[in-house]
Structure 1
Amino acid sequence: MHYISEILPSLLAGAGMTLQIFLWTLIGSLPLGLVLSLGLISKIKPLQWVINFYVWLMRGTPLLLQLIFVFYGLPLIGVVFPRYEAALFAFILNYAAYFAEIFRGGLQSIDNGQYESARVLRLSYGQTIRKIVIPQVVKIVIPSVGNEVINLIKDSSLVYVIGIGDLLRAGNVATARDVTLVPLVLVGVIYLLLTAVTTFVLRQIEKRYSYWK
């Protein structure tokens, strides 16, 4: 217990960095994913092709490779990001692609009669999307979005490869220094706690929208 009390502050500091990346990625990727999904169902073919290529590229290559490319590759063409900003940039672009596909499926599940009824009520396209379509889409996509949110908690450990002091890096440093697996066990416990709290919050959100059944 004495050893745990010694290493716990550094692990919690790493967990704080993990949560920062997690929260900022959600804040950036969810709205971007929604906007991209509207482009995916747009009648403007060139826009569809561009966004489909982007989604294919982001989903078809590993997030780790994208992270390394942003931090180590882009400087070769003069685009330089600090470590933290590089991580956020790569994570937001990657998760926005996944969320775009999720939202696209939700948007396409809305019956065309909903749009026709909105036109009868003389609602604009923006009002239709904002007041009629999106509230229904949110309920439909919550389980799929929740799965990606859980994955994001675990994927945040990838920032270790570009030297950011996240939870996993703190655990690895303590393990290498003290030659014991206790830090990694604690890292696992903290990840499990973060996942449990996130799962609970997502379940509450699902219950919040259950009255639309």
Structure 2
Amino acid sequence: MIKILLVEDDLSLSNSVYDFLENFADVVQVFDGAEGLYEAEMNIYDIILLDLMLPEKNGFEVLTELRGKGIKTPVLIMTAKESLDDKMHGFDVGADDYLTKPFYLDELKARIQALLKRSGKLEDTALLKYGELVANTSNNHVTVDGQPVEILGKEFDLLVYFLQNRNVILPKEQIFDRIWGFDSDTTVTVVEVYMSKLRKKLKNTEFAENLATLRNVGYILR
């Protein structure tokens, strides 16, 4: 499931957006720019939805600092500021898209999907395939050679994360932040536990054979 950071101070709008996004994404919601910046730095998100008129730090400031720190997460600005100068400034400081209020929720979803496809975080369908393995992100169903395999919860999230990041070195700390979250009560060693579970459930598959451990670094699915 995709992970979205929603940084929005307009409670009447943010609540309806949050409820809508929860139908297809894991959503973390914050209400001021400083907290939004902290969340974006400390956790890994697939996309950030950013209002401009925020307390503590405005959206332009948040985005400028994010890009200055090398954080490349796609950012969709959604704001009542509709002037051409505001739009141009938003793109100048690193926005990937700009949506003015009021907007239709279906349009918001379409723009999110377009950005995720562009960044490689969303397949054209819900099916992620690797050899004989197929993971369906619409119903969290996994099959191997057409036979169902019970992979649920964090195990499924972990599987999808590797399938979406093939040939990319994933450090243990990054996996932990992405799957469990920076504020989790557990420790990074839980990654090794779940990796072992996943390998056992998928033994003798191409996935297990090509999932390599990089000592003192992390893992890579080749």
TM-score exceeds 0.5 = no
Bigger share in strand: 2
Q: What's the TM-score once normalised by structure 1's chain length?
A: 0.25
Bigger share in helix: 1
Whose radius of gyration is greater, 1 or 2?
1
Q: What's the TM-score once normalised by structure 2's chain length?
A: 0.24
